[in-house]
Amino acid sequence: MTMSHYIAGRWVEGQGNDCISVNDPALGLPFAELMAASVAQVDQAVNAARQALPEWKKASAGTRAAFLRGFAEQLGLRREELIALQMRNNGKPRHEAEIDLDDAVATFAYYADLAEQLPEKNRDVPLAAPGFSARTRLEPVGVVGLIVPWNFPLVTSAWKLAPALAAGCTVVLKPSEVTPLIEQAYGQIADKLGLPAGVLNIVNGKAETGAALSSHNGLDKLSFTGSNSVGSQVMRSASAQCRPVTLELGGKSAIVVFDDCDVDQAVEWIVAGITWNAGQMCSATSRLLVQDGIADALLPRLQQALENLRVGNPLTEEVDMGPLTSQAQWLKVASYFATAREEGLECLAGGKTLDRDGWFVSPTLYIEVPEDSRLWTEEIFGPVLCARRFSTEEQAIAQANDSRFGLVATVCSTDLERAERVADALEVGHVWINSVQAVFVETSWGGTKGSGIGRELGPWGLSAYQSVKHVTRCLG
């Protein structure tokens, strides 16, 4: 057991009811365990954040920026250690774990810059009516609960933690019970930097811990990234307190390939969109819409590319794709393989779990998948790609938008005017044109429809943790 919870500037052992087993998914074996935080410890963490709020919100922009730059620097200094932990606990190939670490560093550095600009955001507001003056203040929203998922630990927490601290909020962070170790680096860095006690608190646990945090009446805001089923519970908890929420939820995203594309380039974009992080991405482009004129050339090459991917243990092999991160996710993906067989779907590649230690599945391609198939409509969260053909631009847009989700999409076409036109017509929060899923901290992240509420990253990520106050004065 470890001192795995960071509350009021101190490391403490968990006193909850759940023992959390931390696994190596490439072996299917545990390598660490910790006790969850109790409901009382969640309460202590929220109270610590509440007590720290007055001083932290008064801290100068330069002070907050210095701490954020300290986080970026310390993450960089621990680069190899954190990359290795991502590989071991998530099953990520090295190149993916490296990008995750770089993204977290860039996020803290970016919000350090924005924090320094905050004084410029307080401005006078011109009024049409005479005899009055008005000014705007941007204030921290207060104490925020941050609940993050297991597929991109370190990164999703950086996306929330950095802007919250930049805005002057204090936080209680709950990592996923599947990957609870890497976020402890944030508490260790806070210690090293001398971050005031209570500004950052970390509590680990399962559903009981998450429910205690999301329902706590000491929070001023909740920010959650995860499944739609849990997100709806978080939203219900928030509604009882009438508190604001940011929800980044699921996706069933489309990649649209027009027949003027270079086949090999299109295959590269398609494979990256469905096999990065073994498809365990809310943004996975798991619905392939391919135009009739290119389909017969593209699908066989896509099949070959998926079959040629090196799947294995990233700690011992050079791989393109690692295992699924948890046994629960492995069983879920396996159940979709069974559903595909029951539905009689045509499988060009994969469609099976791999007969080896750990939680491995094969990169998978089904073609001519009906629009009412569960595999076409439901988020699988694995390297499972479903393909359909289309004839016209209008058909492609209609099929891409026919989803209860609206997170991202990719458009592939050498006709850039058409690509831009299609991008504008897609009902999603982020579109890539002729690209892999490159995410930059300066851009926004979030979706429409069932994919969530609000935006992260960019200035929008900062504003999510700010409250607008107007001060109006009579000049008479």
Catalytic residues: 248, 282
Which residues, listed in sequence order, are joined to residue 144 by a DSSP beta bridge? 171, 221
Which residues, listed in sequence order, are joined to residue 232 by a DSSP beta bridge? none
Cβ-Cβ contacts under 8 Å for 438 (sequence gap 6 or more): 432
Half-sphere exposure of residue 295: CA atoms within 13 angstroms, side-chain side: 14
- Among 130, 76, 85, CA closest to 106: 76
Distance, CA of 357 to CA of 25 (rounded, Å): 9
Going by their DSSP bridges, the two strands 143-147 and 221-225 should be labelled as: parallel
What number of residues does the chain have?
476
313 φ/ψ sector (left φ>0, alpha ψ -120 to 50, else beta): beta
Determine whether 28 is exposed, middle or buried from the number of CB atoms within 10 Å of its CB (0-12, 13-18, 19+).
middle
Query: Which strand (E) or helix (H) includes residue 103?
Result: helix 94-117
3-class secondary structure, 367: strand
The pair of structure tokens assigned to 438 is 């490159």
Helix axes 94-117, 155-167, angle to 10 degrees: 10
Half-sphere exposure of residue 54: CA atoms within 13 angstroms, side-chain side: 2
Distance, CA of 285 to CA of 272 (rounded, Å): 9
The pair of structure tokens assigned to 99 is 């990008």
Distance, CA of 417 to CA of 459 (rounded, Å): 28
Query: Which strand (E) or helix (H) includes residue 12?
Result: strand 10-12
- For the residues of 137-200, what is the DSSP string, one character each? EEEE--EEEEE--SSSTTHHHHHHHHHHHHHT-EEEEE--SSS-STTHHHHHHHHHHTPPTTSE
The pair of structure tokens assigned to 372 is 């009412």
Distance, CA of 203 to CA of 38 (rounded, Å): 9
Distance, CA of 90 to CA of 314 (rounded, Å): 10
Helices (H), 204-361: 207-214, 228-241, 263-275, 292-308, 327-343
Query: Which strand (E) or helix (H) includes residue 109?
Result: helix 94-117
